[in-house]
A and B are shown apart, each in its own frame.
Chain A
Amino acid sequence: MAVSEPRDVTAVTVGGAPATVEPTSPAGASGAPDAAPIRHRSEFLYFGLRNWKFLFGLSVVLVFLALALFGPLLTDHKPLEFTAPTDQPPSSEYWMGTTSYGQDVFAQFVYGLRSAFLVGVLGGGIAWVIGAAVGFTAGYRGGWLDDVLNMLTNVVLVIPTLAILIIVAAYLNVHGYASEAVLIGLTSWPWAARAVRAQTFSLKTREFVDVARLSGRSTPQIIAREIAPNMSSYLLMMFILLFGGAILIGASLDFLGLGPSESISLGLMMNNAFTSSALLLGSWWWFVPPGIGIIAIVGGLYVMNVGLDEVFNPRLREL
């Protein structure tokens, strides 16, 4: 049954390129010798700097990042020292008060932020690399390789990751947040692989990929130089989501007491606070900062992503 595909016979002016300046204007503003078109990157910069969601999210994340980097320099208390009086509310000596064990909450908070960002970057980064690798390979090569990778992706997707992480964490005696980040990275990549695969499928059928093949380019070269650059905005947003997701999963694990206990993280702080009945004691300064920290960073990342989506996709912009 031959269903004739629509042939766009009226010559398209700005044919479907993802990073065009405006929606396809019928009379075509192409090729005017004097009108210089806005270059893609500066177009993104222009809109990026004017999108409040992106700027707001970015500022929030940057504030906490600054705290993570420079906070520890501001205090000479160490997070795990038991040198302070117990259960003190915030004061000029202990800016965020102290815990029931006599530890400085502010020191714990800023060092905890460092762990959070570490887990985010490492865990998100690993997931990003695996997801992109699997997605590009499956999407471009197709065939049996696609079937195998699909199966792998589906299996990892369906496994209840938290349960697996709990079991692994309990048995493997995870040391250090780096290991936790690796575990998170190894289990949170499937949705990214799926998304990359889908986009690669559609980009693979574009004729410029054929032209690259006809120029003697090999498969890895085509993926790296032709396909990935066309998805660069998506890959960036994907990393941001994986980053935020890794922080969240890490915090959940730590809160359940399954993360490393040698150093401190925001989730571990909250775990300690609850097991010491901080709520009943009214020591709000112990669990509110880490809670806000997690929510603010992850929320800020997501809001930033929504803003970025608008920056990259002309159709979402409110003109």
Chain B
Amino acid sequence: MLTLDNVSKTYRTGAFGTGTCNAVCDVSFSIEPGEVIALIGESGSGKSTIGRMILRLSAVTSGSITLDGVDVSTIRRGRLKDYYARVQGVFQDPFSSYNPIFKADRVFSMIRQGYLSGLSASEWHTKLTASLDAVSLSPEDVLHKYPHQLSGGQLQRLLVARALLLDIEFLVADEIISMLDASTRIDVLNLLGDLKERGLGILFITHDLSLGNYIGDRAVILHKGAVVEDGPTEQVFSKPQSPYTQMLLDAVPRLHERWGEPHSNGAPPTQTDDE
């Protein structure tokens, strides 16, 4: 469905743009409907840049991103709306994703004005209630409120509900639960799992290996802009091929094993050098 083919992003830096900075180098992978890809990388790995390029918020320097064969970068400004009816994104900071001077449900009315203006009031109400239901929110709790009156978890779910209004095929979830409390994180994560079962393709961008392991069908590990490992999650986490992945798995703090102990799957910890 969505394919990245040797995608690279280079920034010009320095005065007069003489320096270069490779944010993303030759990244290729693809996502099918109903598949969750966990794009895992530390800060500076380029994972957010890839998400933004898929969402046409940043330009691709070389390579191509295609949705069902159509190159995303060739879509003209006017046709971009149609693209966004199929591909949407949710970002990391729930409080920054809402314009603070307006009520939170303005994000819904923006979608209505842009895409669903033909619907009657009752049709709109039905559709909205169905979307809110899909994310386990009740209308009385969240409508007509300002963002600061709602919690981070509710705000993130509202953003997912907004994306669902459009019957999208693909969702880019960029660190969507990093800023939520531990007890609400898992609910939003489970929500993504439900959506996956409805046939949505999801790119789950995260720095947290345990989250990627929990929700991803496939795991793509990024290091300094390049893919170092790509495969089914079980395999990547139990038999990592790349030394970088192994280093990550050894460094991640776990709840039932201490650093330095052998892993529960029997694999011994590899030698890590402290920075």
CB atoms of A and B under 8 A apart anywhere in the complex? yes
A residues with a Cβ closer than 8 A to B are 2-5, 7-9, 11-20, 30-31, 37, 40, 206-208, 210-218, 226, 229-230
Are B100 and A18 in touch, CB under 8 angstroms? yes
Contact of A11 with B99 at beta-carbon distance under 8 Å, contacts A207-B91, A214-B84 already known? no
Q: Which 3 pairs between the two chains have the least Cβ-Cβ distance?
A: A15-B95, A17-B100, A2-B44
The answer to whether B159 has its CB under 8 Å from any CB of chain A is yes
Whether B101 lies near A40 (C-beta < 8 A) is: yes
Assembly CA distance A19 to B149 (angstroms) = 14
Kindly provide the distance from the CB of B256 to the nearest chain A CB, expressed in whole angstroms: 22
Q: Which residues of A contact B20 (CB under 8 A)?
A: none
A193 to B224, CA, bound (A): 38
B2 CB to nearest A CB, Å? 16
Which of B84, B93, B149 has a CB less than 8 Å from the CB of A31? B149
In angstroms, Cα B98 to Cα A206, docked, is: 9
Q: Establish whether residues A4 and B43, one from each chain, have CB atoms under 8 Å apart when the complex forms.
A: yes
Q: Which of A4, A31, A230 contacts B99 (CB 8 A)?
A: A230
* B44, B100, B152, B180: most-surrounded residue (chain A CB, <10 A): B100
**B131 proximal to A (CB < 8 A):** no
B146 and A37 contact, CB distance less than 8 A: yes
A30 contacts B148, C-beta separation under 8 Å: yes
Q: In whole angstroms, how far apart are the Cα atoms of A217 and B81 in the complex?
A: 9
B179 contact set on A, CB distance < 8 A: 7-9, 11-12
The verdict on B14 contacting chain A, using a C-beta distance below 8 Å, is no
Residues of A within 8 A of B224 (CB): 2
Surface stretch bound by A, among B63-71, B108-116, B241-249, B258-266:
B108-116
Q: A11-B179, A12-B95, A40-B101 are in contact. Are A215 and B107 (CB under 8 A)?
A: yes
Please name all residues of chain B whose beta carbon is closer than 8 Å to the beta carbon of A208 when the two chains form the complex. Answer: 96-99
Whole-angstrom distance from the CB of A180 to the nearest CB of chain B? 37
Interface size on B, residues (CB 8 A): 40
Verify B44–A9 contact, CB threshold 8 A.
no
Neighbouring A residues of B148 by C-beta, 8 Å: 13-14, 17, 20, 30, 37
- Give 19 new A-B contacts, CB below 8 A, not counting A30-B148, A206-B96, A216-B81: A2-B42, A3-B44, A7-B43, A8-B93, A12-B93, A17-B100, A19-B101, A20-B148, A31-B150, A37-B148, A207-B92, A208-B99, A210-B89, A212-B99, A215-B107, A216-B84, A216-B114, A226-B99, A230-B101
In the assembled complex, 21 residue pairs joining A and B whose CB atoms fall closer than 8 Å, in A order, are: A4-B44, A5-B43, A7-B179, A8-B179, A9-B179, A11-B151, A12-B152, A15-B93, A15-B95, A16-B95, A17-B100, A30-B149, A208-B97, A210-B89, A211-B97, A212-B99, A214-B88, A215-B110, A216-B81, A229-B101, A230-B101
- In the bound complex, residues from chain B placing their C-beta under 8 Å from that of A218 are 77
Report yes or no: A216 in contact with B115, Cβ–Cβ below 8 A.
yes
CA distance A217 to B111 in the complex (A): 10
Shortest distance from the beta carbon of A86 to any chain B beta carbon, whole Å: 59
Contact present for A211 and B115 (CB under 8 Å): no
Q: A14 to B148, alpha carbons, bound, how many Å? A: 6
Residue of A nearest to B99 (CB): A208
CA distance A11 to B184 in the complex (A): 11
Residue of B nearest to A206 (CB): B96
Determine the distance from Cα of A73 to Cα of B81 in the docked complex, in whole angstroms: 59
Q: Which residues of A contact B121 (CB under 8 A)?
A: none
The verdict on A16 contacting B96 (CB below 8 Å), with A2-B44, A11-B152, A40-B101 known, is yes
Q: Given the complex of chains A and B, what is the CA–CA distance between A189 and B77 in angstroms?
A: 32
Q: Is B55 interfacial (CB-CB < 8 Å)?
A: yes
Report Cα–Cα, A84/B98, bound state, in Å.
Answer: 66
Contact, CB under 8 Å: A19 / B100: yes
Interface residues of B in 205-231 (CB under 8 A from A): 224
Q: For A31, what are the chain B residues with a Cβ–Cβ distance below 8 Å?
A: 149-151
State the CA gap A173–B170 with chains docked (Å): 65
Q: A206 — which chain B residues lie within 8 A by C-beta?
A: 96
Whether A211 contacts B159 in the complex (CB less than 8 A), given A12-B95, A31-B149, comes out as: yes
Whether B57 is near chain A, meaning CB under 8 Å from some CB there, is yes
Judging by beta carbons under 8 Å apart, are B55 and A230 in contact? Answer: no
Complex interface: chain B residues within 8 A of A18 (CB): 100
Residue numbers in B under 8 Å from A7 (CB-CB): 43, 178-179
Q: How far is the CA of A221 from the CA of B57 in the complex (A)?
A: 16
- B147 contacts chain A at the CB level, 8 A cutoff: yes
Residues of B contacting A40 in the complex (Cβ-Cβ under 8 angstroms): 101
